[in-house]
Amino acid sequence: MKRVLVTGATGCVGRAVTAALLRDGWTVRGLARTAAPDFPADLVVGDVADPAAVRAAAEGCNCVVHLASWVHRIPRNGADRAALRRSIIDGTRNVVRAVGGARLVHASTVAVYGSFPTQPADEDAPTAPDSPYARAKLEAEDMVRAESPSAAILRITVVYGARDRGNMAALAHAIERRRAFVVGRGDNRKSLVHADNLADRIALLVATDVAGTFIVADVAPTQRELMTALARALGRPPPPALPRALLLVAGRLADLVAGPKWADRVRKLAAPTEFSGARLDRTLGYASRLGFEEGLRAAAAWYKEA
């Protein structure tokens, strides 16, 4: 029987991957920390940081898609940093040990190149992780390469789509409330991937023996193009542009009240983060199923509902 374990199965990407695998005829077992009555396949409730839970979930599976990870949060203290490492490092170690001879597709992030790369990077570009999250993700990658050399490692760009609660969801929320601004000229490019297109690629990898490290990206609109298109999909006017320096000052002031977040978002919006996923797409013979505008409309429907 073709059976796949998907960790982090109830999240944005996990749901999309589950749907893609079921469509392709796989039997799916999910692993997630909380129950989800609407999950369309067998679901094991457990934490990837628990080795017994991972072993039990992986039993009898031909492939493991490892998505579960600390994400969309900034560690604020030692307890947070320890929880981050339990999720990313211990969780990956448990998955690698439970895989045995099964296929492994491991989700990583382009954050390993650094938060603000100054030029487009490919898979072989030097890494410069500059946050606890990015350093842990790179350490997890190294663990997978050492213990499961036949694995496919995916460095994923910003994901958007149904059930997304990350950076694009935060941007949509700000646009909805007319509190979003284009930072500076807005001509820096931001690589994105729709969750359904990402899931298509993962489903193809599950069915192959393709190994190595790959970037996953669909398109790279400019910051202004992204905000304008997202505002249009949400039925809102395009955000106005303000100088980067002014928005950084406002972000730092907001951080004094709400904790570190806003200034970092301004810097990230203004940074060029353009990556090419062409090598993976050539390898798989894949072309994105959802185009940028279509994907944004589908995502906007979810953002408005959520």
Q: Say which residue the tokens 């940074």 belong to.
A: 271
For the chain, give the number of residues: 306
* Residue-wise pLDDT tens digits, 196-253: 999 999 999 999 999 999 999 999 999 999 999 999 999 999 999 999 888 888 878 8
Q: Kindly give the confidence (pLDDT) of every residue in the chain, 306 residues in length, as a single tens digit, with 9 standing for 90 and above.
A: 699 999 999 999 999 999 999 999 999 999 999 999 999 999 999 999 999 999 999 999 999 999 999 887 888 899 999 999 999 999 999 999 999 889 999 999 999 998 766 666 778 877 888 889 999 999 999 999 999 999 999 999 999 999 998 889 999 999 999 999 999 999 999 999 999 999 999 999 999 999 999 999 999 999 999 999 999 999 999 999 999 888 888 878 877 877 667 788 888 888 899 999 999 999 999 999 999 999 999 999 998 887
- Give CA separation, 306 vs 40, 169, 174, in Å: 20, 9, 13
Measured CA angle at 128 (ends 123, 134), to 5 deg: 90
Q: Where are the beta strands (DSSP E) in 33-171?
A: 42-45, 63-66, 103-109, 152-156, 158-160
Report the amino acid identity of residue 293. Answer: E
Report the amino acid identity of residue 20. Answer: A
Q: Where are the beta strands (DSSP E) in 17-166?
A: 27-32, 42-45, 63-66, 103-109, 152-156, 158-160
Q: What is the pLDDT of residue 119?
A: 64
* Residue-wise pLDDT tens digits, 135-157: 999 999 999 999 999 999 999 99
CB count within 10 Å of CB 42 equals 14
Report the amino acid identity of residue 52. Answer: A
Answering whether pTM is above 0.75, one says yes
Q: In the numeric block, which tokens belong to residue 303?
A: 């953002």
